[in-house]
Amino acid sequence: MRILAAGDEFVRTGLLADAVAAELATAPEISRLDLPWPVEPFGPVGGVHEASGTEEQVIEALHGAEVAVTQMAPFTEKVFAAAPGLKLVSVCRGGPVNVDLKAATAAGVAVTYAPGRNAAAAAEFAVGMILAALRRIPGSSAELLRDGTWRGDLYAYDNAGVELENTTVGLVGYGAIGARVARVLVAFGARVLVSDPYADPGQVRADGAEPAGLDDLLRRSTAVSLHARLTEETQGLIDADRLALLPHGAVLVNTARGGLLDYAPLPEALRSGRLGALALDVYDVEPPPADWALRDAPNVIATPHLAGCSRQTAERAARIVAAEVGRYSRGEAQAHLANPDVLER
């Protein structure tokens, strides 16, 4: 079996190749393609989103491969047309946004993905952001190290941070990441509310949280953390009207998708104190532009889309795609098939 391993600077090509080789009974013929993400940002390529590299690079590297494993390589209609022997593309991401699923299905190519690969990393990061925002950790550290300012006034009652214990935290979205966050927060002693129309209320309660409507959650939560997928339904979900529902001084955290937030009202919400702090790992434009309105807003924590980034995530992603290649080689059903209609072909 000829296999293309198209890795990058995070999920390295060697990780993919070694994981695939360990999964198969006989040594495969593996061609390799190294892509520049994240040193170079991803972007749209040939009609697919969030891809790294070019269609021409992928076509050349395939060399008649039957299977491809990747994180970021673009698999477009043009690529599928140039690779008639391709039967499986296994993508080690939570969704195969770098693959044209319609074109893959038309070409008879199964596409798999890796749900939950970064759930532990993203959940830990989200909890860290909540703590950092509630306890003013990044801002006070920066002032002390950069300016030599000892903020003794932060010990005053009106400026003091808030503990997680007995604090109400609202989670918007309850997939693999949101559920992990809930369990960690419950262990801290927080009261956790969950808004997700697709979540099982019984499971939410079993995890120690309380199901709630979105508006009710916003009214009751001292901190809100977003964990929903970005869809037409959730685009701009937290807008000016919903921000106004939050208790004065509440904390808002977004480590999910930038499009969940309407960014326009955020600077004024921070300056007025409506928002006590805003912690972001994702943005409507990545990276934010030089004139980004939140650069000089108070109490903002901003990180460069790192929530899902851990060495274990990269290793786990490689194992997940390799397992799909193993299933394919043994004639078994794929565990995480993104285009089930391909089975009819």
Instruction: Please say if 257 is a catalytic residue.
Output: yes
Do residues 130 and 225 make contact, with C-beta atoms less than 8 angstroms apart?
yes
Asked if 259 and 123 sit in the same domain, the reply is: yes
Exactly one of 117, 227, 257, 316 is catalytic; name it.
Answer: 257
- Per cent of the chain over pLDDT 70 is 100
Residue 213 to residues 86, 124, 194, 201, 245, Cα–Cα distance (Å): 46, 25, 8, 12, 13
Instruction: Please say if 49 is a catalytic residue.
Output: no
Q: Kindly compute the dihedral angle of the four CA atoms of residues 162, 163, 164, 167, in this order, to the nearest 10 degrees.
A: -60
Asked if 289 and 231 sit in the same domain, the reply is: yes
Asked if 218 and 260 sit in the same domain, the reply is: yes
Phi, psi angle pair for 129, to nearest 5°: -65, -40
Exactly one of 268, 305, 315, 327 is catalytic; name it.
Answer: 305
Instruction: Please say if 117 is a catalytic residue.
Output: no
**pLDDT at 157 (0 to 100):** 85
Q: 283 is in which domain, residue-wise?
A: 119-302
Asked if 89 and 176 sit in the same domain, the reply is: no
Asked if 81 and 200 sit in the same domain, the reply is: no
Asked if 190 and 242 sit in the same domain, the reply is: yes
b/e per residue 72-106 (b: at least 16 CB within 10 A)? bbbbbbbbbeebeebbbbbbbbbebbbbbbebbbb
Mean pLDDT of 285-298: 92
Residue 345 has pLDDT above 80, yes or no: no
Mean pLDDT of 315-341: 97
Q: Where in the chain does DSSP place strands (E)?
A: 2-7, 29-34, 43-45, 48-51, 67-70, 88-91, 110-112, 168-172, 191-195, 210-211, 223-226, 250-254, 275-280, 300-302
Asked if 29 and 69 sit in the same domain, the reply is: yes
Exactly one of 286, 295, 311, 330 is catalytic; name it.
Answer: 286
Reduced to 3 states (helix: H, G, I; strand: E, B; else coil), residue 46 is coil
Mean pLDDT of 191-198: 97
Residue 313 has pLDDT above 80, yes or no: yes
Asked if 77 and 169 sit in the same domain, the reply is: no
Asked if 185 and 61 sit in the same domain, the reply is: no
- Per cent of the chain over pLDDT 90 is 87
Write the pLDDT tens digit of every residue in 94-108: 899 999 999 999 999
Write the pLDDT tens digit of every residue in 12-43: 999 999 999 999 988 889 999 999 999 998 99
Write the pLDDT tens digit of every residue in 159-183: 888 999 999 999 999 999 999 999 9
CA gap 220, 239 in Å, rounded: 17
Residue 29 to residues 26, 60, 227, Cα–Cα distance (Å): 10, 16, 40
Write the pLDDT tens digit of every residue in 198-235: 999 999 999 999 999 999 999 999 999 999 988 999 99
Asked if 220 and 183 sit in the same domain, the reply is: yes
Asked if 282 and 315 sit in the same domain, the reply is: no
**pLDDT at 215 (0 to 100):** 98
Asked if 123 and 32 sit in the same domain, the reply is: no
301 CB-near residues (< 8 Å, 6+ apart): 129, 132, 133, 138, 139, 277, 278, 279, 280
Domains identified in the chain, total number = 2
Query: Is the whole-model pTM more than 0.95?
Result: no
